[in-house]
Structure formats: C-alpha cells, structure tokens
Chains A and B, each alone.
Chain A
Amino acid sequence: QLQLQESGPGLVKSSETLSLTCTVSGDSTSSDDYYWSWIRQTPEKGLEWIGSIVYSGRAFYNPSLRDRVTISVDTSTKQFSLTVTSMTAADTALYYCARRVDTGLGAYFDHWGQGTLVTVSS
C-alpha cells in the first residue's frame, strides 16, 4: 500500500525559505508514469497545485509560484522535496504531497499524504 508522509518545520519566519520533504513507502518513485507533486490548501483559495516532478528530475511548476519554488527528487531515498523562498503570510497553508498518475490518457492525484501545516510568522 503506497503511503506518503510530509515532514518539515511547522513555523517559518517571513522572508525565509521553507523546505519540506515527502517520504514515499510501498512503491517505487522510478517510473515516468508518476509525477510526484506538492499541493497546498488554504481556507481562502482551496487547493492549489504547486508543482510536480518525474523520476528523471524534470519538474513543472504553477506559473504563479515558479519564481520561488523548486522541487527535487532523490530516488535512492524515495523522497522528494519542496523549497519555497521568500515566504510571506500568504504562503501559510496546509501542504500536501501527492502522487499524480500521468499516462497520456489521464492526469490525476491518486495518493495523498496527510498534510503538514506551515505557518509564516512575522
């Protein structure tokens, strides 16, 4: 059974950098059918796709966050990571990691982590 687990700080200061890690268990990250993804949620905006990365390391980002976001993958440890620079109060959110299935016939998120709350303080 595939499981994803987010880890990282729950509190980040304004203007600093957030780093989160997602650990995958029960499946391999080494398939280009899977895009390992980060999604965040706020009460105001609901769910927001941040970006996704494939095994080969090619990453894709939400244009509205592209300048501040980096996603990387380490298949040896079955982890993928999210870095967001210049954090502001608007980045306070529940951050999820998820597996996206992308076969050419469909693109959807079939497995999600439990989420980790990140609060930006001034």
Chain B
Amino acid sequence: QSALTQPASVSGSPGQSITISCTGTSIDIGSYKFVSWYQQDPGKAPKLIIYEVSKRPSGVSYRFSGSKSGNTASLTISGVQAEDEADYYCCSYVGSSKMVFGGGTKLTVL
C-alpha cells in the first residue's frame, strides 16, 4: 500500500480559507468513506479533527471541514487562525482492516 499524497506545505493569511488535498487511489479513498484527518502540533501527538470524511469530533472547531471526490479527500480550514499552524495528516482505510496515512502537510499562517 502506498502513502496518500499531500502537498508538503500550504500557507495562508489570517482569515483566509485554505484547503489541503489528499490524493489516493481507487482502492483506498476511492472505495471507502473512511477518511480521517489529524492535526499535530510540534512535540505533541496527532489529534483527530475529522473522521468519516466530514464529521467533527466534539470540541473541534466548526472552521474545520472535510470532503471527498473520487480518489481525493480535502480538508478546508475556514478563517485560518495563527493557532491552526501545525502539521496535518490524512488517513484512509484500504480494506482488510488496513490503514494508510498521507505524508503530511505543514500549514504556515503568514
């Protein structure tokens, strides 16, 4: 199983909306609605922010949203804030109880 493809970095000014893409294949993202997203601050463990493509766990800001089209999933942060600066990882189910992550995207808030 190959890692999902994410841009290495994205940036945006406070208040802007930014989108991070996560491209897989027909055997992972394209076949299942089991996409999740994680936010990782420096020196901390990843934190679940989106599951089942577009659902937010309790306590996660409404500014985070997820979607999927074909083999590509997307994470959108509306009205990006300085506190959103972090690394973001996508993850997908690939069948047979296996999982695969993306390579991660570093978000810089300008």
Q: Which residues of A contact B (CB under 8 A)?
A: 35, 37, 39, 45-49, 52, 60, 62-64, 96, 100-102, 105-110, 112-115
Contact = CB atoms under 8 A, between A and B. Distances in A.
Given A63-B1, A108-B34, A114-B45, A100 B52 contact: no
Nearest to A64: B1
A48 B97 CA distance: 15
Interface string B32-68: 0110101000000111100110010100000000000
A39 B46 CA distance: 11
A110 B48 contact: yes
15 contacts: A37-B99, A46-B3, A47-B38, A49-B99, A49-B100, A49-B101, A60-B98, A63-B98, A64-B1, A96-B46, A107-B34, A108-B48, A109-B48, A110-B48, A112-B46
A105 B53 CA distance: 11
Contacts of A39: 101
Contacts of A35: 97
User: Range of interface residues on chain B?
Assistant: 20 to 34
Contacts, number: 71
A108 B55 CA distance: 11
Contact of A102 (B33, B91, B97): B97
B45 A62 contact: no
Nearest to B100: A49
A60 B48 CA distance: 22
B104 A113 contact: no
A47 to B, nearest CB: 4
A64 B1 CA distance: 8
A52 B97 contact: yes
A108 B52 contact: yes
Given A47-B104, A63-B1, A106 B97 contact: no
Nearest to A37: B99
Contacts of A109: 36, 38, 46, 48, 91
A108 B51 contact: yes
Contacts of B46: 47, 96, 109, 112
B12 interface: no
Contacts of B99: 37, 49, 52, 100, 107
